[in-house]
Every structure is written in structure tokens, then in C-alpha cells.
Amino acid sequence: MPQRRADPHLEASTNRWMVGGVVLMALLVLAFPAYRLYEPGARAATRDAHQASLVEQGGRLFEIQCTGCHGLQGRGGSAPALNSQQFLTGASDAQISSLIAVGIPGSPMAAYSLDHGGPLTSEQIESLAVFLRSLEADAPDNPDWRTPQP
């Protein structure tokens, strides 16, 4: 049986494909560590953006629904100063949300969640809690935070 003669065109094209495959594989192998470096940063950025939008939404709601009693930026009024260290360090996020949702029976502090007959969704209440928490960084020391202010 005569040897088949190698086809130089076929050989060249096979070689090109092989080199292409190796290059592609190398790119994929390099892409993984690059992705792993990049990905947590992207996730943190998304989380920060979400947090910032909650703070903004909560701030707008607070201005509409709460400043009448609690003062601008929660600085206090007829109702307690919610921007105080005393309130913010004493209450967990869950407690703040629940105070807003359920209200304080027997006081002017109404229930705000739809479940309790109020006007706000649970996401809106969460945004209010996140907004109040965002005030903690600059919260003034205010031992009289519960005392109504004129």
C-alpha cells in the first residue's frame, strides 16, 4: 500500500487551528484569576449602590412622613431626636424597622406598615431604617433625645 503523501495545505491549516486552540485555552486560563480579582469588587460596588439608593429613598420618605414630629434629619421636635447616639446605638436595625412598622400604641407614633393599617411597604420601612442608620456616623451625643423640643 503506497504511503499517502502529506498535503502541505492541510498540515498548515491544522497547525493554525491547533495554535488557535492553545491560545484560546491560555486566554481562558488567564481569564479565571482576572475574573476572581474583579468579581468581589463588582459585588461590593453593587451592594454600595443599593445601600446608597435605600438611604436616598429613606431620606425622602422621612422628610415627607416623619420630619413633622421628629424634626429635619431626625434632629428632634415634638417627638424624640432619632439622629442621637443614644437612640442609634441603643436600637438594632430590626428594632427600628419594627418600631416604624408597628408604632407605639398609646402615643402619637402611629403604625406605618401596610400590615398594621399604615401607608408603607416593608421595603419603604427598610429604607427608613437604613436612612436612620446612615445618620449614626455623625450622630450627636444627646442625653435629652426623648425630651420634646419647641
Query: What's the residue count for the chain?
Result: 150
Q: Scan residues 12-31 and list those touching ligand HEC (CB under 6 A).
A: none
CB 101, min distance to ligand HEC, A: 10
Is residue 120 within 8 A of residue 114, CB to CB? The reply is: yes
> Would you say 80 and 70 are in contact if contact means Cβ atoms under 8 Å apart?
yes
At position 73, the amino acid (one-letter code) is Q
CA dist., res. 95 & res. 8, Å (int): 78
Q: What minimum distance in Å lies between the beta carbon of 97 and ligand HEC?
A: 9
Q: Are 98 and 69 in contact (CB under 8 A)?
A: no
**Cα 23 to the center of its chain, rounded Å:** 40
| 108 lies in the binding site for ligand HEC (CB under 6 A) | yes
Q: How many CB atoms lie within 10 A of CB 82?
A: 26
Rounded to a whole number of angstroms, the minimum distance from the CB of residue 121 to ligand HEC is: 12
Give min distance, CB of 47 to ligand HEC, in A: 23
109 makes contact with ligand HEC (CB under 6 A):
yes
55 part of the interface to ligand HEC, by CB under 6 A: no
Of 81, 96, 101, 139, which lies in the binding site for ligand HEC, with binding defined by CB under 6 A? 96
Residues contributing to the site for ligand HEC (CB under 6 A): 65-66, 68-70, 79-80, 82, 87, 96, 99-100, 104, 107-109, 112, 128
